[in-house]
Amino acid sequence: MSLLCISFAAAPSYSSAVPPRAGSALHAATAGRSPAAVAVAGRRALLDAVAVSAAGSILAGLPLAASASGGATAGKYTTIPVAKRRYFGRVKQGVFEFLNMGGAVEKGDFKSQPVTAFFSQTIVSTSARQKSGCAMSDNCKVKEEYSSRWEDLQLSMFLLGNAFRLDSGKPPEKVKQVKEAKAFFSEVEKLQRAMRQNNAAEAKARFASATNALDVYLNDVELPPTVDDVYSSKADTKVPSLCQGSFCV
């Protein structure tokens, strides 16, 4: 709660007396509306920005670059349809790879390819590049960074779940779907600990518990349960473009 208070203190205020800047998202969303409606839209935008800030704090341990690929770091409110378009593919792929570990966990083969593939840093989250308009020095180079499918699944589940909040002012940690996602994360962490200890019986139990927790989450974000055939093959993680005329998002 202290984080939210700091965010409100640092954020700019919105006033119906000052019209939104032409060309801005708020200007487009409030064109032709009354000053009172514009003020409400401004306040909602502020609350949404604070919620995204809180999400970043809670997931501070994950690679920041991984969030950029979904486009949710711009401080804008993510509606449920937009969140589905951005994160369904990534969540489905993460669930596919998680379930793919089931056979190895059952056999106690914790060094098998499905297990290492899920937890290893194999996803390029930031591509190596040269900063534009920068002199030739080491500081001008952006290094390639990696994240794991497990880390990406945590991030995409969190952001998708947070979009289902009914009150835009509710902090992420109080959103039901976020709580359900964190329950799954906790079970997977216990699974990892059991595998590190080479405790086959405990690993089986934790994998089953994690799968049950995952099913609860999937149901509440309107995705099929883990037994569905949709998770029997790889998912398309690319965010589909949504266009109207020449304008695409």
Residues 248, 43: Cα–Cα separation, whole Å: 26
Cβ atoms 184, 144 nearer than 8 A: no
Q: How far apart are the first and last CA of the chain?
A: 33
CB 24: neighbour CB atoms within 10 A?
Answer: 11
For residue 53, is pLDDT > 80? no
CB 147: neighbour CB atoms within 10 A?
Answer: 22
Residues 6+ apart with CB under 8 A from 33: 41
| Residue among 192, 172, 177 at smallest CA distance from 91 | 177
Strands 141-142 and 129-130: antiparallel
The pLDDT assigned to 69 comes to 40
Length of the chain: 249
Question: Pick the residue with more confidence: 206 or 147?
Answer: 206
Helix, strand or coil, per DSSP, at residue 18: coil
CB 61: neighbour CB atoms within 10 A?
Answer: 7
Instruction: Say which range, 1-10, 112-121, 174-183, has the weakest mean pLDDT.
Output: 1-10
For residue 11, is pLDDT > 70? no
Instruction: Say which range, 19-33, 162-176, 181-195, has the weakest mean pLDDT.
Output: 19-33
The residue ranges of every structural domain in the chain are 1-58, 79-248
DSSP assignment, residue 140?
G
Highest mean pLDDT among 62-66, 88-92, 120-124, 139-143 belongs to 88-92
CA geometry: angle at 118 spanning 117 and 120, to 5°? 65
Cβ atoms 93, 188 nearer than 8 A: no
Question: Pick the residue with more confidence: 50 or 109?
Answer: 109
Helix, strand or coil, per DSSP, at residue 31: coil
The pLDDT assigned to 128 comes to 74
Average pLDDT on 65-80 reads 48
The number of helix segments (H) and strand segments (E) in the chain equals 10, 6
Check if CATH label 3.30.1050.10 holds for domain 79-248. Answer: no
For residue 234, is pLDDT > 80? yes
Q: Which residue has the tokens 């792929």?
A: 93
The token duo for 106 is 């059952």
How sure is the predictor about 179, in pLDDT bands with cuts at 50, 70 and 90? very high
The pLDDT assigned to 4 comes to 39
Percentage, residues of the chain above pLDDT 70 = 66
- pTM for this prediction: 0.65
Strands 129-130 and 243-244: unpaired
The pLDDT assigned to 171 comes to 92
* CA separation, residue 114 to residues 72, 96, 101, 200 (Å): 29, 10, 5, 16
